[in-house]
Structures are given as C-alpha cells and as structure tokens.
Amino acid sequence: MVDWVKSLSRVLYIDLSRKLFWVENREDLFSKWLGGIGVAIQLYREEVPKGADPLGPENTAIFAVGPLTGVYPMASKVVAVFKSPLNGFVAESHGGGRAATAIRFAGYGAIVIKGASDMPIYVVVDEEKVRFRDAGALWGMRSSETVGRVLREALPGAGYRTIMRIGRAGERLVRYATLTAETYRHFGRMGLGAVFGSKKLKALVVIGKKGFKLPDIKAYREVYRELYELTRGPSTRKYHDLGTAANVVPLDKLGALPTRNFSSGRFEGAREISGEKLAEENLARRLACTACPVACIHLAAIREEYEDEKYFYKTEFVPYDHEPIYSLGSNLGISDRYGLLKLIKAVEDEGIDAITTGVVLAWATEALEKGIISIKETLVELRWGNWRNYIKAVNYIVLQPNEFYKSLGLGVEEAASRYGGLEFALAYNKVEPAGYHTGPLFHASLAIGFRHSHLDSGAYSIDQNLVASGASLPSPEDAAKLIIGEESWRQVLNSLVICLFARSVYTGKIVEKALKALGYDIDELTLVNLGKRIYLEKHRTKALEGFKPDQVRIPRRFLETPTPLGQVSEEYLRKIIAYYSKLVSESTESTL
C-alpha cells in the first residue's frame, strides 16, 4: 500500500463518557474509500446504531480529511458526519478555516467523537495526546466569538491550530446550532452544534504541526504549480472579488432570489444588499482557509455609536456570504445593509445556522401576518424588514422564553406542524432551503440530495444554464440522472477533500495526476466509479434509517411562486424523486 495512505490512516477515537482516547490504524478504510466522506460514512455505520437518539451519547461526531488535505491548493475542507438532530437522519456538513490542515498535521485522517461528558468540557488534541479540560468557565458565554478568544489566548499553537466551538444555541440544543471554526467558518447545517451541546462538548481544539515526506517531489511540484495557477484563474475569480455575494444581483435579475419567504423571486432592495454594494461600503478584510489562494471569506466592518454617549463607537466584524444575505436579507425583506449585518452578527454570536434561522423567521412573520399566530407567541412584532425585532427573535430562539420559541428551535417543519401554515413552511425533509429559486432541478436536488443542500449537486446552475440557452426541460429521468451524476462525482471531491469552489479546477484528469504524484495508482474511470459507490453507500445508509423519499413533503409555496423556468410542476418533481427512490432501493436490495 502507498505510504501516503498509511500516514492518513490513523484514526483518533475520543470517548467523552469515559474520558479516554486511542488511535487505530484504519488502512482498510482509507485504502478503499480515499478519505473524507468516503471514510466518514463507513465510520458512521460502524459507530451509530440504528435508532440512536441524535442528542444521545450513541450519536457520534466524525471528522475526516483526505489524501490531498494540506497537499494542494484548495484541499481545505473537513467533512463532518453525524446524525442530525434537525431531521433525525445521517447528515454531512463541511467546514473550512484551519480545521482540515490542523487535523492532518496533528497526524490524523479522522477524529471520531463518541459518548457524552457529564460536565461541560473542551478537548485539546495535538500530535501526541488528547486533553480533557473543564469548560465550566466557558459554558453559557453569550458570544461564541469570546469563547474563541479565551481559548486562543489559553492554548499554544497559534497559526497551526483550529478552535472549533459552539455558541449558546448548541448548549441549549437548538436543532440547527452550528459548530464554528476560526470565528467565521462553520459546519453550518444540520445541527452539529446541538450534537456537541448534547455531549457537553464546548470546543474541540486541534493543534497540528507535523510534516510528511513526499514520495516524488518532482512530480508533485509539477502538479502543484499547475493547480496553483488554475486555482488563481478565472474560475475562482468571483469568489475572490465579491465572494459568493456576487450571486445576489444576477439571481434577482433572473427572478430567482428568494424574497419574503419565497413569495417572490425578485427583491426591490437587492442592490442595497448586493456583493457590489457590500464591497464598496462595508468590506474590511478578506480571509482564506488554509491552503487556499482564493480568500472567499469576506468580512464587513460595522461602526456603531453607543446610544448613551456621543462619539463613543465600537467596530464589529461580520462575515457575509450569499446564503445569509438571502436568508436573513431578501427572505426577511431586509434591504437596510446595516440592519442585515447586525442580524448576521447576532446569528453568528449565538451560533445558529443562518439559512434555517432566516427561513424559520420568515415563516413566523408570514404566520403572524396571516393571523395564524399572534404577538402572544412571537413576543415582538415580526414584520418584513424590521431587523431590530428579528435580532430579538434570534435571541429568543436560543433563550426559549415560551413554547413558541421552543418550537422555532426545532426547525420550520416542526414549528408549522404545531401552529399551522405548513404550505409556507419551507423545507425538504425538515431541512430549510438554500437561497435559490432557479427552477425544478434545484428543487428536485433539494428533495433527493443527501444533505438537501444546494451543494449536493449544484443543480441551481443546471437551471440557470437552461434559462440561458432557452432549451426545454430534460425529461424527469434525465434530470434525475444529471443531479445524481453530479452528486456522485462530488463524492470524489469530498473524499479528497476539495473545497467545492474548486470543482471546475479539479477535473477527473487533474485528480488522477494529483493522486499519482502521491503514489496512488487510480485512474479517472475508477474515481468516477468510486464516486458512484460512495453515493450509494451514503443514500443507502439514510434509507436504512427509514428515509422515505416518496413521502417528502413539497411545500405548496415552492410550486406557486414562479421561477425563471416557470412554475415548478409537482408531477415533474415526484417523477424525479421516484427515479431516485427506485435507484437507492434497488441497490439496497441487491447488496443486503
């Protein structure tokens, strides 16, 4: 076996119940499944029994990196796999910052966190050991930013460590709490923060300074240089210039920018909260994840004068991306840029998923408007554009002063099942949608994608290409094949682990070369097939947990509000879902 696989195959197991740790050599997994999601899904199957409570000690948080981590530009992500407390199924979330390289250079290919502590703790991992530390002083801290600062100052390893932590939302088990790394990057979706909270795990710090000898430095340098040039090329330029916020104006022009709870695809305030306007008025700094030349992380600075004293200011930094601009901006009717940034900041401090939070609040606003609920429930007037009250509501979601906010903390589907308004409670399989209303392929991909995320297959761009070319919709079967094909290939990238913003750089040919320079003998076709196998492994795992795609609820709102490709037909979506369902169930039967 390749030496490279050997060095990657060390898996660190941490048992929080017994405060024990050990390392196992899992060459069996890393030689077969590369790394990242390929390995993580197998570890999940080993660790998490059927029927496990997502917030119980049986749930396991698995972090995995891959053979290219820290080796080539933009191989900068960690894959996390766990059972989601938001929808009760196996879930996957990706995070950047320094997490990927810190894990790899601490000498691990994966970290498996089992059990639950009986007291708040944080865990510090380095090349030699794991330390369990008392988190009593950190628990309940109002801002997750402060938690990061305290740990930064208390621990060694500045420049080659990751500080992954949860906010109050995670402690209080808000089902869509995030895990935050390096203050501005997140394992954002599906509630990994609540899983940490249920384990009384405030933070996971990984310090890694190791190096690894390359088998063929000449071959490596050649591929490296090619990738370095490509990752700085035109395909990643927009992420560098305006960041993902570059999408706001084009989507609005197209009529695909979700506005006021998806009641429209156009937002009259789009220009005010666009990437262009944010860059001109508020952009203060750009940051990169480790090993990434692009630096897509955009931080805005907001200056605020204290109400009680003239000329007394504070300046805060707020990360922005397309998704929070949609979910907390256009989708809540907020065009006041300052207000939007303040709202994003509140969401950051609490450590909750920006997308879900925005969709939950949009549902609550509409429910209040329609008289389904009253101010008795919402405690503050939730009205489109009123960001001050939305900030209060964000705090209430975390503090849960009444039954209503407790329900909001469970996600939009759960809240609407209790209070009504399911037809405008926007989620597929209890996962709230990303910021696109481009057409039927996007919606189908949310219904059948493993993560119910726009990142599963990027189908919003298939829709947009259809709009641009004026071509007619593919048949449902062809649409399903397109979505599933793309999602399958992305399993390769997510096993290596490559940031998906580099997806057009890391073609099959390049990946083959990149791996070859590390001693792997694996060709493009084999990679494609491996992607298909990983796809099936994942979707099968979810099917075995009881996921019934045919029963996925399609909220009426999604079908009513026209997309650039017209209204989405339910029949078309159902046919795509049926194709997917058949594919997964046949593969499940054939191998069990």
Nearer to other proteins, 19 or 232 (CB): 232
Q: What is the spatial distance between Cα 534 and Cα 526, in angstroms, rounded to a whole number?
A: 12
Q: 133, 200, 210, 553: which one contacts other proteins (CB under 8 A)? A: 210
Shortest Å distance, C-beta 318 to other proteins: 9
Nearer to other proteins, 244 or 378 (CB): 244
Nearer to other proteins, 69 or 429 (CB): 69
* Footprint of other proteins on 176-205 (CB under 8 A): 182-184
Q: What is the spatial distance between Cα 436 and Cα 156, in angstroms, rounded to a whole number?
A: 42
Shortest Å distance, C-beta 67 to other proteins: 11
Place of tokens 């990149």: 514
* Footprint of other proteins on 141-160 (CB under 8 A): 148-149, 152, 158-160
Nearer to other proteins, 70 or 275 (CB): 70
Nearest residue to 63 via CA among 84, 37, 33, 101: 37
Nearer to other proteins, 152 or 238 (CB): 152
* Footprint of other proteins on 531-590 (CB under 8 A): none
Q: How far is CA 114 from CA 18, 82, 106, 423, in A?
A: 10, 11, 19, 38
Task: Write phi, then psi, for 205 (nearest 5 degrees).
Answer: -110, 130
Shortest Å distance, C-beta 221 to other proteins: 7
Q: 315: exposed, middle or buried (C-beta count within 10 Å: 0-12, 13-18, 19+)?
A: exposed
Shortest Å distance, C-beta 160 to other proteins: 5
Number of residues that bind other proteins (CB under 8 A): 40
Nearest residue to 459 via CA among 443, 475, 474: 443
Shortest Å distance, C-beta 280 to other proteins: 19
Q: What is the spatial distance between Cα 61 and Cα 83, in angstroms, rounded to a whole number?
A: 8
Query: Which residues pair with residue 304 across a beta bridge?
Result: 314
Q: What is the spatial distance between Cα 53 and Cα 89, in angstroms, rounded to a whole number?
A: 10
Shortest Å distance, C-beta 289 to other proteins: 8
Nearest residue to 121 via CA among 130, 131, 134, 112: 134
For 183-196, b/e burial (b = at least 16 CB within 10 A) is: bbbbbbbbbbbbbb
**3-class state of residue 381 by DSSP:** coil
Nearer to other proteins, 224 or 572 (CB): 224
If one asks whether residue 138 binds other proteins (CB under 8 A), the answer comes out as: no
Q: 52, 150, 214, 500: which one contacts other proteins (CB under 8 A)? A: 214
Under a CB-based contact definition with an 8 Å cutoff, are residues 289 and 297 in contact? yes
Shortest Å distance, C-beta 71 to other proteins: 5
Nearer to other proteins, 220 or 338 (CB): 220
Nearer to other proteins, 92 or 182 (CB): 182
Q: 50, 213, 310, 376: which one contacts other proteins (CB under 8 A)? A: 213
Q: What is the spatial distance between Cα 272 and Cα 261, in angstroms, rounded to a whole number?
A: 19
CB atoms within 10 A of CB 259: 25
Nearer to other proteins, 105 or 387 (CB): 105
* Footprint of other proteins on 68-87 (CB under 8 A): 70-71, 73
x/- string (CB under 8 A) for other proteins, residues 501-530? ------------------------------
Q: Which amino acid is at 436?
A: Y
Shortest Å distance, C-beta 518 to other proteins: 9
Shortest Å distance, C-beta 307 to other proteins: 24
Q: How far is CA 2 from CA 37, 514, 530, in A?
A: 20, 14, 18
Q: 232, 481, 503, 513: which one contacts other proteins (CB under 8 A)? A: 232
Q: What is the spatial distance between Cα 121 and Cα 200, in angstroms, rounded to a whole number?
A: 6
Shortest Å distance, C-beta 246 to other proteins: 17
Shortest Å distance, C-beta 137 to other proteins: 19
Query: Which tokens in the block code for residue 362?
Result: 């949009």
Nearest residue to 74 via CA among 488, 451, 511: 511
Shortest Å distance, C-beta 420 to other proteins: 42
Nearer to other proteins, 123 or 297 (CB): 297
Nearer to other proteins, 104 or 277 (CB): 104
Q: Which amino acid is at 524?
A: E
Q: 132, 150, 228, 510: which one contacts other proteins (CB under 8 A)? A: 228
Nearest residue to 272 via CA among 297, 301, 252: 252
Nearer to other proteins, 69 or 264 (CB): 69
Strands 201-207 and 185-187: unpaired
Nearer to other proteins, 94 or 430 (CB): 94
Q: What is the spatial distance between Cα 358 and Cα 333, in angstroms, rounded to a whole number?
A: 11
Nearer to other proteins, 160 or 338 (CB): 160
Shortest Å distance, C-beta 206 to other proteins: 13
Shortest Å distance, C-beta 305 to other proteins: 20
* Footprint of other proteins on 103-122 (CB under 8 A): 104-105
Under a CB-based contact definition with an 8 Å cutoff, are residues 38 and 491 in contact? yes
* Footprint of other proteins on 272-331 (CB under 8 A): 284-293, 295, 299, 317
Of all helices (H) and strands (E), which one includes residue 582? helix 570-591
Q: What is the spatial distance between Cα 424 and Cα 460, in angstroms, rounded to a whole number?
A: 21
Which of 100-108, 414-422, 457-465, 559-567 is the region at the interface with other proteins (rule: CB under 8 A)?
Answer: 100-108
Query: Which tokens in the block code for residue 276?
Result: 């262009």
Residue numbers at the binding site for other proteins (CB under 8 A): 70-71, 73, 101, 104-105, 148-149, 152, 158-160, 182-184, 208-214, 217, 221, 224, 228, 232, 284-293, 295, 299, 317
